[in-house]
Amino acid sequence: MNAMMDAMVDRSRTASGKHTSLLDMGYNHIGLDGGWNYCFPDNHTFHWASDGRPVWNDAFPDPKGMVSRAHKLGLSPGWYLNNC
């Protein structure tokens, strides 16, 4: 996800002769489709703890930090919520 955020704000490409980024061109949404959640083997579909919290797996140890970084870069982060 960090590499994708970096690519969104990278100004190494040009448009009409001007260095620009995808963000400069209006593309500000960045989404995480799958692989972030822990899927419980007993129901094979839900990734929520009994108190309603989504359960993140070890591949994404700091979702709050990821969202904070996206906001600092001017991006609007999101993720697909039902993908077990």
Q: What is the pLDDT of residues 2-23, one digit of tens each?
A: 899 999 999 999 999 999 999 9
Contact status, residue 77 vs residue 67, Cβ threshold 8 Å: yes
Q: What is the pLDDT of residue 72?
A: 97
Supply the pTM of this predicted model.
0.77
* Model confidence pLDDT, tens digit, residues 20-77: 999 999 999 998 877 787 776 665 556 777 787 778 888 887 889 999 999 999 999 9
Q: Which of 9, 56, 4 is nearest to 64 (CA)?
A: 56
- Residue 19's pLDDT is 97
